[in-house]
Amino acid sequence: MVDNMVEEKKFNLENIPGVGPKLADKLTELGFTDPMSIAVSSPGELASILEIGKATASKIINGTRQMLKMGFTSADLVWKQRQAMTKITTGSKNLDALLGGGIETQAITEMYGPFGSGKSQIAFQLSVNVQLPEDKGGMNGNCLFIDTENTFRPNRIIQLAEGLELDTDKVLKNIFVARAYNSDHQMFLVEKATDMIEEKNIKLIIIDSLTSHFRSDYMGRGELAPRQQKLNKHLHALQRLADAHNLAVYVTNQVQSNPAILFGDPTRPVGGHIVAHQTSYRVYLRKSSGEKRIAKIMDSPDLPPGECVFRVLTEGVRD
């Protein structure tokens, strides 16, 4: 909640029952600098990370929750939190309209589709657009870009910046890129993002793509359960960052074909129900003729079903 975010800025980790100077230092070192990340942890998870007993971990979690005054709240306060939400333009008015105004903060937006459908192009465009002033659809903020498939290209960012008549050097300096080499590294980068968010005015986190490493690291039916558990934890960490810092999270996802479907489109996103439940907005992208792409809302808590056409041009994502 917004009130909790204000509280976090005044929060001293050593004030939590069960946390002394040593544990406070360890929590900070491990990236637990915002109390919300502690409050929403499980006792088992926190005990394992800090190498303490579950009873102590439970005491720390409960103490944090009491200090943050977590629990039921009236809907008007939830509405107040929603008022802090903003949206980043995609560069296409058609696509923005489909998304209710653009890519939303306090949420995870997932776009999936086959190769060349525009997922990464939208990611590049958003990393530039988030730097725009608010009256032009940006957030006057910067971007963290986690590249899992070695697809990030600075020359493409330069083209998009030139398309908006922006200072290309400045735009490049405001996008902080990390190459993730496996699923554990990918999760580590998200867990360590808190300090970067505060220090570098990060308003957008991009992962391109979300499931690539999880697919390659956990192969076969026997590995499905641990893969889904780690993916679930990863998505929860992203949502915590989105909520605590009022930032947007955009992830791309790979697709696979369902051989059981004989008629219609057999394409489905990777990640199963875990990704479906943990992402706020799901959009299916597919190729059309030439530079045209089609986007279709597949799941949303507050947007009607629909689809639109947009284009991917040299200068960027446009109508």
pLDDT, one tens digit per residue, over 172-193 is: 999 999 999 999 999 999 988 9
Q: Are residues 159 and 29 in the same domain?
A: no
For 38-52, what is each residue's pLDDT tens digit?
887 788 888 888 889
Strand partners, 285: 295
* Banded pLDDT at 6 (limits 50, 70, 90): very low
What are the pLDDT digits (tens) for 148-159?
Answer: 999 999 999 999
**Do residues 181 and 252 share a domain?**
yes
Query: Does 74 reside within a domain?
Result: no
Mean pLDDT of 30-38: 74
Q: Phi/psi at 311 (nearest 5 deg)?
A: -125, 150
Tokens of 11: 């929060």
pLDDT band at 263 (very low <50, low <70, confident <90, very high): low
- On the question of pLDDT at 293 being above 90, the answer is yes
pLDDT for 160: 98
- Go through the chain and tell me how many residues it has: 319
Boundary (domain end) residue, out of 68, 100, 121: 68
The CATH number assigned to the domain holding 255 equals: 3.40.50.300
Question: Which pLDDT belongs to residue 7?
Answer: 42
Q: How many domains does the chain have?
A: 2
Q: What is the pLDDT of residue 202?
A: 97
- Domain, as residue range, for 113: 85-318
What does the pLDDT look like over 301-316, one tens digit per residue?
999 999 999 999 999 9
Is residue 281's pLDDT more than 50?
yes
With a cut of 80, say whether residue 257 has pLDDT above it: no
Three-state secondary structure along 193-255?
Answer: HHHHHHHHCEEEEEEECCCHHHHHHCCCHHHHHHHHHHHHHHHHHHHHHHHHHCCEEEEEECE
The answer to whether residue 23 is domain-embedded is: yes
**CA distance linking residue 287 with residue 294, whole number of Å:** 6
| 230, 214 Cβ separation under 8 angstroms | yes
- The per-residue pLDDT for 9 is 41
| DSSP H or E segment with residue 103 | strand 103-104
12 shares its domain with 95: no
Residue 5 has pLDDT above 60, yes or no: no
Whether residue 215 sits in one domain with residue 121: yes
92 & 147 share domain? yes
The pLDDT, as a whole number, for residue 313 is: 98
| CA 219 – CA 305 distance, rounded (Å) | 34
Does a cis peptide bond (omega within 30 degrees of 0) precede residue 209?
Answer: yes
On average, the pLDDT of the chain sits at 89
Given a cut of 90, is residue 11 above it in pLDDT?
Answer: no
Indicate if 157 and 234 belong to the same structural domain: yes
The answer to whether residues 133 and 21 belong to one domain is no
